[in-house]
Structure 1
């Protein structure tokens, strides 16, 4: 069996099919489960630290992966960005984002393990997700460190992984390019595909929900209601009555009506 064909020619399409099919299935049959199952009610101090670290870090990581895999080397060189310049920026931002993401997820895992109610609400599904997610983050940081401190490599991921990734979208997978990649990039890619395979069936599914409707939702108007008056006291104006319109009030037991009432009142 040619494992290169299986891993880099067949498995990616299996991953895409499971990802899309899983999202459709989850949306149709488990919309109420399409959530992170927030636990902020139980503990918020660590959550306020770990959640922003993780989410902002992973956002930069995703953007960096998209730029590195989608934009060909020839395009960046055509606008004057040399390979050395590209790697300095990519490695700098990638390292900071990767460390922030790892620190954030570490805080979230520590919080989940040490906060009783949060730990009791943790399922086996959550534990599996965290294991794969942390493995993907560590593998990504390892590739960054190896590219900086490891032996000099003439062939980088922009010559191997990136062409293979782009070739998947035209249904002509460049298996030879991926086969020429380093073992660190292969491991990182396999863990990443595993993460996307389980993605629709975990709490990570909320990442595919964009709250677009919030941009067009009308404002919610809050009005205070006056407290109930004491027995025998005059009733105040109703809290829900529109501002600037006449109202009927009681004064000493008698009903007082404004002299002029607008049309339609």
Structure 2
């Protein structure tokens, strides 16, 4: 293999992985207040209510499908009685529906950012870079799924013979770049764009994907005053009475003795 291919399928993925972990650590240490979605819901909510769930739920199924296809060897699915043909059907058709949902959701989010001026002005430079590479990763994966898996014949392209073992061996420091030599260009573009997005991840709003409101379930209640004018006033405890100054006490005693 050429040095270019070795860099592309060995060095580049590892550089992206290192950038991801170091970037996440740096972001957490230096910018915890910026660890957020930078929500623009205050500017527009109608399109957001439609596009955001479509995009995020579609991504959940896309990620689950990627984990199943890349992490689980073919021998494991065969051992539990799942034939290659059945696996292809299970992976392709739900994966295509999930991909369509993600594309439609992303299109709605992008349309909202471009058309709504307030949302557009709230879009930072890192947001624009993020949307560019996120869109490239999603579109390349969708094109690969539809052209090679859905329309590529009854069996499609068997990425579990090439891409999946290449990635697993890469992660255990046993790189085998030759496995990627004959992979269709659609999947190659998807892999490269996916790793590029991974490298950029810590420096964009995508960090919110690794946030979970765990502390919400244990935080104390927030107590508000009632707006009901018919509600009886709260009973004051004697310990909550204001402490009088010495002058107030003297004046009160004088009035008492004068009476």
Instruction: Report the TM-score when normalising by structure 1.
Output: 0.82
Which residue of 1 is the match for residue 180 of structure 2? 178
Structure 1 55/78 Cα, relative in aligned 2: closer, same or farther at 3 Å? same
Higher helix share: 2
Higher relative contact order (CA 8 A, sep 6+): 2
Following TM superposition, by how much is the alpha carbon of 1:217 offset from its aligned partner in structure 2, in angstroms? Answer: 2.9
For residues 131 and 240 of structure 1, what CA distance do their matches in structure 2 show? 59
For residues 154 and 91 of structure 2, what CA distance do their matches in structure 1 show? 17
Which residue of 2 is the match for residue 160 of structure 1? 162
User: Comparing 116-125 with 64-73, which one deviates more in the overlay?
Assistant: 116-125
Structure 1 78/50 Cα, relative in aligned 2: closer, same or farther at 3 Å? same
For residues 169 and 72 of structure 1, what CA distance do their matches in structure 2 show? 14
Q: Please list, as runs of the form range in 1=range in 2, the aligned pairs for 1:84-233 lying within 5 A after superposition.
A: 84-147=85-148, 148-150=150-152, 156-222=158-224, 224=226, 227=229
Structure 1 102/155 Cα, relative in aligned 2: closer, same or farther at 3 Å? closer
- Where does the alignment leave 5 or more consecutive residues of structure 1 unmatched? 230-235, 243-265
Q: 1:238 aligns with which of 208, 228, 233?
A: 233
Following TM superposition, by how much is the alpha carbon of 1:220 offset from its aligned partner in structure 2, in angstroms? Answer: 4.0
Structure 1 162/240 Cα, relative in aligned 2: closer, same or farther at 3 Å? farther
User: Comparing 148-157 with 76-85, which one deviates more in the overlay?
Assistant: 148-157
The total of aligned residue pairs comes to 236
Which residue of 1 is the match for residue 3 of structure 2? 2
Partner of 2:172, secondary structure, is coil
What's the CA shift string for 1:188-236, capped at 9, x where partnerless? 1000011111111111111111222223334445552664x9xxxxxx7
- Check whether the contact 1:77–1:83 (CA below 8 A) recurs between aligned residues: yes
Following TM superposition, by how much is the alpha carbon of 1:72 offset from its aligned partner in structure 2, in angstroms? Answer: 0.3
Structure 1 240/118 Cα, relative in aligned 2: closer, same or farther at 3 Å? farther
Which residue of 2 is the match for residue 72 of structure 1? 73
- Check whether the contact 1:23–1:200 (CA below 8 A) recurs between aligned residues: yes
Partner of 1:31, secondary structure, is coil
